[in-house]
């Protein structure tokens, strides 16, 4: 049966965008064939592109399930391109039969990397903290060592390879803390349920909110057991309507007396919300995929440790109990945190070795020197590995330490730390002309803080000065500290394929998910900048229409440019919409 007879409205929409869409009677078989041809064609392009990139790749593995109990493994590759822009592509979304054992995961991943011919150029692999992944990483490292030559082996024998998902760790810690303070959260949950469960009570609450001058459009959130961030949002909304709840209690004491928190309980709710917000903000920061996150991990995690220590010593018993529970879980994973991420922090010119020294002294006292020396030894080992394979012509020259200001802000927890800032900019050691790249980098003082800093632009501008270190930074800053996107980072339920894709065969599921990611990446890289450029031209020329005397004088050249830019803009907009609709139609009809 042809598609027009099944989805006439969709065909009508597509025909309005492209009259040629009805030239042939599309069938499911035809659409599937065209999707697979498109997928294989784009896959070949990506494969050819990977061969040209002069850097190592990092990978993330994320496990998905469907409502048909099929298990999938999503493999995403991350790298920094020749223009020093961070890139990522989903390269495989494969069905894994049976249990996700460590042996099966390692075998599947290694085969996929060999097929992409990037098994010899892997730098790191980011996974969550499941027990099977520990086994998988060991097997993957062993397989990669066995299948690669000495000249293209894993960096420093694989000591940087395994990176644990930071957002998964934060998720576990936050949930562990919430289990201790469940009774306080339960009171708020009952209050929200009482109001949201009755249209009449909701109307009464909104009346009280209006009396208090509150925005009635904000609404109330009810949390979901598998997503701790929803609890954070529930507390936030309840706190916003606190005054309205108190008035509601006064007007209907019989109904709300037992479930409305007392003033002291409201204070407790506020403190709980502040605690959870710290975890929420750091999770949001570390789950980004379009900017480097590896250099942000070290400071972010130690700021969390400082907060947990403060909460543990709090005079409030509930907060203290929560912090003690969270600290046990946090310290367990902090000790396992990858050395890779400490070195990524070192390669941030705002921090260098000084940030590592600061936190080591803060938490380890006299033993800090030993720990700092251990990290410095690993840094030297990494530098020597890259120096061994660097061209002999690589020499440091024309050093420039001016910061680059761009629209990327440092959003780390506890950003305003005068003690840390004072320590960072103390004299950090001798300077001299006989130092190698690493020694020169360490001898130069850290860049002073400014609100906007693009670490990739800074290293791009330092390639001539630090050719070897820049190569290290390019590979290391591509490492992801999270395996999942922000919207999935808080869930304990895992990633689930929607019911529509679950009905498709695994081969087509992979094609659709990969193509969606590749199309989005292509649009992000090429079209957005071009469309913005066209809009700027249109805006600049059209602004003449706002002149006070009402007379507009365009030159022939300006009229021509306006027409070209407008045509270009609408064509690209149409092209983007059409491409999305084709993919969307395929997902709905196959």
One DSSP character per residue, 11-56 reads HHHHHHH-GGGGSS---HHHHHHHHHHHHHHHHHHHHHHHHH--S-
Strand 86-95, strand 71-80: pairing: antiparallel
- Do residues 152 and 134 make contact, with C-beta atoms less than 8 angstroms apart? no
More confidently predicted of 302 and 434: 302
- Identify the band that residue 166 occupies on the pLDDT scale cut at 50, 70 and 90: confident
Give the pLDDT score at 6: 58
Spatial distance between the Cα atoms of 72 and 66, rounded to a whole number of angstroms: 8
Length of the chain: 590
Query: Would you list the domain boundaries of the chain?
Result: 525-589
Q: Please determine, for residue 323, whether its predicted confidence score (pLDDT) is greater than 70.
A: yes
Highest mean pLDDT among 103-112, 225-234, 496-505: 103-112
Spatial distance between the Cα atoms of 477 and 81, rounded to a whole number of angstroms: 12
Kindly report, residue by residue over 536-563, the tens digit of the pLDDT: 554 554 454 444 444 444 455 554 555 5
Q: Please determine, for residue 377, whether its predicted confidence score (pLDDT) is greater than 80.
A: yes
Spatial distance between the Cα atoms of 131 and 168, rounded to a whole number of angstroms: 13
First to last CA, the chain: 12
Q: Please determine, for residue 457, whether its predicted confidence score (pLDDT) is greater than 90.
A: yes
Give the pLDDT score at 409: 45
Among 26-30, 268-272, 367-371, 478-482, which is the least confidently predicted range? 26-30
More confidently predicted of 65 and 351: 351
Give the pLDDT score at 495: 60
Give the pLDDT score at 331: 85
Interhelix angle for 8-17 vs 556-589, to 10°?
160
- Specify the pTM: 0.76
Interhelix angle for 199-211 vs 182-196, to 10°?
100
- Do residues 488 and 495 make contact, with C-beta atoms less than 8 angstroms apart? yes
Give the pLDDT score at 573: 52
Among 154-158, 204-208, 491-495, which is the least confidently predicted range? 491-495
Q: Please determine, for residue 380, whether its predicted confidence score (pLDDT) is greater than 80.
A: yes
- Identify the band that residue 458 occupies on the pLDDT scale cut at 50, 70 and 90: very high
What is the overall mean pLDDT for the chain?
78
């Amino acid at each position: 049966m042809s598609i027009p007879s099944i989805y006439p409205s969709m065909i009508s929409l597509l025909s309005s965008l492209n009259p040629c869409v009805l030239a042939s009677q599309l069938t499911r078989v035809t659409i599937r064939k065209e999707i697979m041809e498109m997928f294989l064609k784009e896959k070949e392009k990506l494969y050819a592109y990977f061969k040209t990139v002069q850097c190592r790749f990092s990978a993330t593995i994320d496990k998905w399930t469907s409502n048909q109990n099929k298990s999938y493994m999503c493999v995403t590759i991350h790298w920094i391109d020749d223009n020093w822009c961070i890139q990522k592509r989903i390269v495989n979304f494969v069905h894994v039969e049976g249990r996700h054992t460590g042996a099966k995961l390692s075998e599947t991943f290694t085969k996929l990397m060999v097929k992409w011919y990037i098994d010899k150029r892997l730098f790191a692999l980011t996974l969550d903290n499941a027990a099977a992944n520990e086994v998988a990483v060991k097997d993957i490292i062993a397989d990669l060592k066995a299948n690669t030559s000495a000249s293209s082996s894993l960096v420093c024998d694989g000591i940087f390879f395994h990176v644990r998902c930071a957002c998964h760790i934060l998720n576990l810690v936050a949930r562990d803390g919430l289990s201790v303070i469940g009774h306080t959260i339960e009171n708020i949950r009952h209050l929200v349920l009482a109001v949201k469960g009755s249209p009449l009570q909701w109307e009464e609450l909104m009346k009280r909110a209006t009396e208090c001058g509150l925005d009635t459009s904000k609404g109330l959130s009810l949390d979901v057991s598998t997503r701790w961030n929803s609890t954070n949002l529930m507390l936030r909304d309840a706190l916003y309507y606190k005054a309205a709840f108190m008035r509601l209690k006064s007007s209907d004491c019989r109904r709300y007396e037992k479930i409305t928190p007392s003033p002291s309980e409201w204070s407790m709710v506020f403190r709980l919300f502040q605690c959870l917000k710290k975890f929420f903000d750091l999770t949001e920061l570390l789950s980004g995929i379009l900017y480097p996150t590896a250099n942000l991990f070290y400071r972010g995690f130690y700021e969390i440790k400082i907060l947990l220590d403060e909460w543990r010593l709090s005079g409030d018993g509930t907060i203290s109990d929560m912090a003690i529970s969270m600290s046990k879980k946090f310290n367990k994973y902090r000790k396992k945190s990858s050395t890779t991420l400490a070195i990524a922090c070192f390669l941030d010119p705002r921090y260098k070795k000084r940030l590592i020294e600061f936190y080591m002294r803060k938490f380890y006292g006299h033993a800090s020197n030993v720990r700092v020396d251990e990290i410095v030894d690993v840094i030297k080992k990494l530098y020597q590995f890259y120096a061994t394979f660097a061209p002999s012509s690589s020499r440091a020259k024309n050093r420039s330490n001016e910061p680059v200001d761009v629209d990327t802000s440092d959003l780390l927890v506890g950003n305003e730390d005068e003690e840390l800032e004072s320590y960072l900019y103390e004299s950090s050691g001798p300077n001299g002309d006989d130092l190698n790249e690493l020694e020169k980098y360490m001898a130069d003082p850290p860049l002073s803080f400014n609100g906007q800093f693009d670490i990739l632009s800074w290293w791009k501008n330092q390639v001539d000065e630090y050719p070897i270190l820049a190569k290290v930074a390019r590979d290391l800053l591509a490492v992801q500290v999270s395996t999942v996107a922000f919207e999935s980072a808080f869930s304990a339920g895992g990633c689930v394929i929607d019911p529509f894709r679950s009905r498709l065969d695994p081969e087509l599921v992979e094609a659709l998910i990969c193509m969606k990611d590749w199309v989005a990446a292509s649009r992000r890289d090429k079209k957005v900048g071009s469309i913005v450029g066209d809009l700027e031209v249109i805006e600049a020329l059209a602004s003449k229409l706002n002149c006070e005397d009402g007379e507009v004088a365009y030159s022939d050249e300006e009229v021509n440019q306006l027409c070209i830019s407008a045509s270009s803009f609408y064509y690209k907009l149409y092209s983007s919409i059409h491409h999305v609709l084709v993919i969307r139609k395929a997902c709905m009809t196959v």
